[in-house]
A and B are shown apart, each in its own frame.
Chain A
Amino acid sequence: MTTMNDAAKLSEYVTFTTAGQLFGLPIEGVQDVFKPSRITRVPLAGAEIAGVLNLRGRIVTAVELRCRLGLGRRDDGSVPMAIGIEAKGESFSLLVDAVGEVLKLPDAEREPNPINLDRNLGRVSAGVFRLDGQLLVVLDIDRVLDLSAEAMAA
């Protein structure tokens, strides 16, 4: 897994926190970061779908990361931040608690998921970085957005 080439290669991650945990998304997948306003909730949609919103004329589907990770709803009244993502020609935004800085991390240091990682988290995680003082969970955006049967049933 660790070839010479990989060891030298750095990837950039947009970091953010949700429910106290630090996460990272590969920067290539991130379109923008914004404060969501006027989210229209969608009746009958799964709990993960916070709603739809208008971002400069585009309709964006907002996914609540907390629910996606099985961490319950956002009921503490905190104001989320949104990370805009483009996936398969559609616009999504991931609602998170707070957005941090962009980190450059070497690919070689990315470790596979610990075997005892929470099932909900393990499903969407693409590995873990050991940072100073905390761990950063890298999210696989395709899997985060795969709200198919398995995820819905959970």
Chain B
Amino acid sequence: MDDLLREFLTETNESLNLVDAELVRFEQEPNNGAILGNIFRLVHTIKGTCGFLGLPRLETLTHAAETLMGKFRDGMPVTAAAVTLILSTIDRVKSILDTIEKSEQEPAGDDADLIEQLGSMARDEDAEPAPPSSPPPELVEIEQPDPAQEPDPAQEPETGPAPEKAEKAAAKPEKAERTEDDRSAGDRIASHSIRVNVDTLDHLMTTVSELVLTRNQLLEIVRRHEDSDFKVPLQRLSNVTAELQEGVMKTRMQPIGNAWQKLPRVVRDLCAELGKDIDLSMRGADTELDRQVLDLVKDPLTHLVRNCADHGIEPPAERIAAAKPAKGTIRLSAWHEGGHIIIEIADNGRGLDLARIKAKVIEKGLASEAQIAAKSEAEICNYIFAPGFSTAAQVTSISGRGVGMDVVRNNIEQIGGTVDLKSVPGAGTTFTIKIPLTLAIVSALIVEAGGERFAIPQLAVLELVRAGNNGEHRIERIKDAPVLRLRNKLLPLVPLRDVLRLGECDGANGFVVVTQVGSQVFGVVVDGVFHTEEIVIKPMSSKLRHIPVFSGTTILGDGSVIMIIDPNGVAQTLGRAAAAAARAENAALESRDEDTDEDTVSLLVFRAGSQQPKAVPLSLVTRLEEIDCRKIEISDGRHLVQYRDQLMPLLRIDDATQLKKEGAQPILVFSDHGRSMGLVADEIVDIVEEKLDIEVSSDRPGLLGYAVIKGATTEIVDVGHFLPQAFEDWFRRRDASAARLSRSVLLVDDSPFFRELLTPLIKAAGYRVVTAASAADALAALKSDARFDLIVTDTEMPDMDGFALAEAVRAAPATAGIPIIALAAMVSADAIERGRAVGFHDFVAKFDRAGLVAAIKEQSADLGRAA
């Protein structure tokens, strides 16, 4: 292609992109002469060059557009129709340019239609045709042509002669030069910055990457030779390399605003098409990130903004009906956070329609109704990222073109980013994208698994834990799932060997790389950990890209090639089961804090005696053990085993349960106050997180009742029944006097499970128990019969919580004197303080059964003395 023509194409494409952005601003501020002047000049420049190059069709069209623009400049009012006309003219110009780029010739045909409209609009509004004034000549010179064919308008501010200082100064003002009518600034900047072909920069980056590799190799060699003369100069080389790397990376940095340039036009067109009124506000447009990342994030961003405009923002009438301003807002913001850039796209529209998402998920077979019912709102929202999902009832031309949100998420995850969403019905949706600043060089942890080395990006790594049988941290197994106790949390583990099918790992010794992906934290078990290294990410071979656990390849200091692990991919293989287990554990420990679904309980499912599964709340189980059958002793008709220097009684759920004759006997260990009891099981099946509804209660001792868990009818075991069997004095039953039996306790808890669980316990302590499922029920019960000696209430309940209940009880004279014990999921100083204020007598942690019995006794003893 002719050099001249190529330059023209590059330059014109840049100009056109700018015109797009300018025009939309212009429509909003029709009186802004500076914007108009800019647009006019850009169109004029195109026209002038077309004439020079002999492109008559383009010249005629731009001439007509210029004439109309000239009118506007001379004070003709700008109408929406006029802007639309000019935009479609520019679209035509673009399509002509496309053809020229492909065939080096103008396409056949003419633009009489547009020219006629442009002409008539210019004539209609003004009798005196103003001749198009000539542009200031120096402007043409400012437009230094880019030899590259890259039609990206964002290239020119990239390079300063001294990357460290001049670059930053150059990048921003040059952009300003285009948007503000400040030519002298433009001139000044032009002399401080030069345009560099993107390929040149990319090549430079590759070269620096090679240099970093070579430096790493040299460092590796020197590491092996203690007294080397190379040490000092190499250190210097190392520093210079690091500086150079940083400098080159900076030249590749571009403001995110470049990716936003097209969005005002997109939103404007959508508004016109959908009859909506939307204001697009952008903040942090000058936040910089690597141009490679920028390129990759452009399309997902556009899609998300389209989505907000199409699905999110309601039509004006609907907005007014909902008492919102008729004009919707889409807010784009970007900022740096750590080594990441955060981009937020927020609309103040209607929010996601959960019911419709649910219906769609079920319709598309992405999940069953039961599965959906068990999910939190956030989880349901995330289904919009599932492949093949689109909620738009009718496919509009804007969204629903087959490019779904799954593609958005894939694109973002491909560059190591994450996308998250929050939706408030009626108030809007917010998408948060988190992406790394650069893709080229990252710090990585080099690990070993199955005799091979792998790199794990440091960004995802939270900490390293050494695990071994003798150490502080021991890898334990629940059925087949390996887990690790780490500071009050149960960390699901995934052995890298298993993920990569590199043979069995011995399971006991190794290192756990604690990794975070999104909100999910898990441990990757590796055989060994070497060191961290700055690695240059080389793209994966196209033949290997289908393997989700790898994100790329790299060359180490010693010259060998290793694969880079993609934590996202590993998290996927971890599967939902492990994720659920982690959640269940969190739920049990932090017990029902607001993040977890109120009513779900994590349950340990096992078999004992019959084929029918049995379940106990995981929170009550202290430990799962397998005990060598030979160690089980029989004494006085009871099975005992030596366990942690104590004799632990083993109990069978019913007579059908048989102890194994040989091998390992699985048992559930329950511990309390230094005493342990083992419940004999045939097999541990699973850990599930389920909403527990005891549907049929049971009269059989030791059974609370039956519930459907994972589709199977499951017996819910009453642990409270077995504890006294193990130790007669477990609940000090003999203390139960006749006097106490006449005393009554009102137990208030919204969860039927806890009511079922605690009732026998309090009964066992010798009290009459009346239960209430809500604070309102409790107040009603108190009204009909105020002669309760004690109230035990959950603090967290829907509608009216325990604190409010206490206040209500205190407020009524008939009940003001009844002591109240609060059952708190978390006993914090704050909560205790608040509890004192509303009149709780005592605070007991929800799972502290002995504590509850003690508290009840103490309170009723006080009562006895007082009486």
Contact = CB atoms under 8 A, between A and B. Distances in A.
Interface of A: 38, 40-46, 49, 52-54, 57, 59, 61, 63, 88, 90, 92, 145, 147
A147 B561 contact: no
Interface in B523-553: 538, 541-544, 547, 549-550, 553
Contacts of B605: none
Contacts of B563: 40, 42-43, 52
A11 B614 CA distance: 75
B544 A54 contact: no
Contacts of A53: 561
Nearest to B553: A59
Contacts of B547: 42, 44-45
Interface string B499-536: 01110000000000000000000000000000000000
A44 B538 contact: no
B36 interface: no
A59 B560 contact: no
18 contacts: A38-B560, A40-B560, A40-B561, A41-B452, A42-B544, A43-B450, A43-B500, A43-B501, A44-B501, A44-B549, A45-B544, A45-B547, A52-B553, A57-B555, A59-B538, A59-B553, A59-B555, A147-B543
Given A57-B555, A59-B538, A43 B452 contact: yes
Contact of B544 (A49, A57, A88, A145): A49
A88 B502 contact: no
A46 B286 CA distance: 45
A45 B555 CA distance: 19
Interface of B: 210, 213, 450, 452, 500-502, 538, 541-544, 547, 549-550, 553, 555, 559-563
Given A45-B544, A53-B561, A54-B560, 10 more contacts: A43-B500, A44-B549, A59-B553, A59-B555, A59-B561, A61-B543, A88-B542, A90-B542, A92-B543, A145-B543
B591 to A, nearest CB: 39
Contacts of A40: 452, 560-563
A88 B543 CA distance: 12
B544 to A, nearest CB: 6
A43 B562 CA distance: 11
Contacts of A57: 210, 213, 555
B7 to A, nearest CB: 26
Contacts of A46: 543
Contacts of B549: 44
A54 B561 contact: yes
- Greatest chain B CB density within 10 A among A38, A40, A61, A63 is at A40
A145 B452 CA distance: 26
Nearest to A55: B561
Contacts of B559: 38, 54
Given A40-B452, A52-B553, A54-B560, A61 B210 contact: no
B555 A54 contact: yes
Contacts of A38: 559-561
A54 B560 CA distance: 6
- Greatest chain B CB density within 10 A among A38, A54, A61, A90 is at A54
B560 A61 contact: no
4 nearest A-B pairs in the assembled complex, by CB-CB distance: A43-B500, A61-B541, A40-B561, A52-B561
Nearest to A145: B543
Nearest to A52: B561
A42 to B, nearest CB: 6
Given A38-B560, A40-B560, A43-B500, A49 B543 contact: yes
Nearest to B538: A59
Contacts of B452: 40-41, 43
- Greatest chain A CB density within 10 A among B538, B543, B550, B555 is at B543
A53 B543 CA distance: 14
Contacts of A145: 543
A86 B650 CA distance: 69
B565 to A, nearest CB: 10
Contacts of A43: 450, 452, 500-502, 563
Nearest to A46: B543
A45 B546 CA distance: 9
B535 to A, nearest CB: 12
Nearest to A51: B561
A6 to B, nearest CB: 31
A85 to B, nearest CB: 12
B453 to A, nearest CB: 8
Contacts of B562: 40
B449 to A, nearest CB: 9
A54 B450 CA distance: 21
Contacts of A90: 541-542
Contacts of B538: 59
A41 B487 CA distance: 37
Contacts of A44: 500-501, 547, 549-550
B541 A52 contact: yes
A40 B553 CA distance: 11
B690 to A, nearest CB: 33
- Greatest chain B CB density within 10 A among A41, A45, A88 is at A45
B814 to A, nearest CB: 71
Contacts of B560: 38, 40, 54
Contacts of B500: 43-44
